[in-house]
């Protein structure tokens, strides 16, 4: 009887252990680096971590002019143009108007604004269930897109892109 109970307990522990390790395998992480554009000195990194159906995005930038800057996901993972224009327009797979994340209509790529301090350093974080990493769903999958930092502030009104000015950094969202 003790062997059966012990064997059953061991089997349950193994099953629980396997379940725990498989759910941690559901996490996906993507880290990318920015390259300067439009004769700027901007540098930095961005990470996307997908876990439990949500993606957490964190960008850390340096070399910016102090003040408010916009950041958006753009249509293409092409940063070859000196001004970043090769990344195309904002990623907008659901054909919405440009706007502010969480308030009315917005593009899936309309991340928003962040502030660079007096030393030109800035950070922005966003968590959403509107993105994923590598699912193939054209309305949610961020792979194959571009990440652009703008010189100015997104006004959240001007169509189609918020009048945020020059593209000062670009990164391809690729594995």
- Listed residue (172, 169, 132) closest to 29, CA to CA: 132
Longest dimension (CA), the chain: 76
Bridge partners, residue 18, by sequence: none
Residue 57 is predicted with a pLDDT of 98
Sequence-ordered list of residues with C-beta below 8 angstroms from that of 62, at least 6 positions apart, any chain:
42, 43, 44, 119, 120, 121
The sign of the torsion formed by the CA atoms of 91, 93, 97, 102 equals negative
Q: What residue ranges do the domains of the chain occupy?
A: 28-173
pLDDT, one tens digit for every residue, the chain (175 residues): 444 443 333 333 333 333 333 344 578 999 999 999 999 999 999 999 999 999 999 999 999 999 999 999 999 999 999 999 999 999 999 999 999 988 889 999 999 999 999 999 999 999 999 999 999 999 999 999 999 999 999 999 999 889 999 999 999 999 8
Asked if residues 167 and 83 have their Cβ atoms less than 8 Å apart, the reply is yes
Residue 3 is predicted with a pLDDT of 43
171 burial level (CB within 10 Å; 0-12, 13-18, 19+): buried
144 burial level (CB within 10 Å; 0-12, 13-18, 19+): middle
Instruction: Provide the whole-model pTM.
Output: 0.84
Three-state SS string over the chain comes to CHHHHHHHHHHHHHHHHHHHHHHHCCCEEEEEEEEECCCCCCEEEEEEEEECCEEEEEEEEECCCCEEEEEEEECCCCCCCCCCHHHCCECCCCCCCCCECCECCCCCCCCEEEEECCCCCEEEEEEECCCECCCCCCCCECCCEEEEEECCCCCCCCCCCCCCCCEEEEEEECC
CATH code, 28-173:
2.60.40.200
């Amino acid at each position: 009887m003790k062997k059966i109970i012990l064997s059953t307990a061991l089997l349950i522990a193994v099953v629980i252990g396997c379940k725990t390790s498989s759910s941690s395998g559901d996490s996906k992480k993507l880290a990318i680096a920015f390259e300067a554009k439009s004769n700027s000195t901007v540098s930095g990194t961005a990470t996307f971590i997908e876990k439990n159906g949500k993606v957490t995005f964190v960008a850390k930038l340096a070399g910016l002019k102090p003040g408010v800057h916009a950041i958006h996901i753009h249509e293409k993972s092409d940063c070859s143009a000196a001004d970043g224009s090769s990344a195309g327009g904002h990623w907008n797979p659901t054909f919405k108007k440009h706007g502010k994340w969480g308030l009315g209509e917005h593009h899936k790529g309309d991340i928003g604004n962040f502030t660079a301090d007096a030393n030109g350093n800035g950070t922005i974080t966003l968590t959403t269930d509107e993105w994923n990493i590598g699912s193939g769903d054209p309305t949610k999958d961020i792979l194959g897109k571009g990440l652009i930092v703008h010189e100015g502030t997104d006004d959240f009104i001007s169509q189609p892109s918020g009048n945020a000015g020059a593209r000062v950094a670009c990164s391809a969202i690729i594995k």
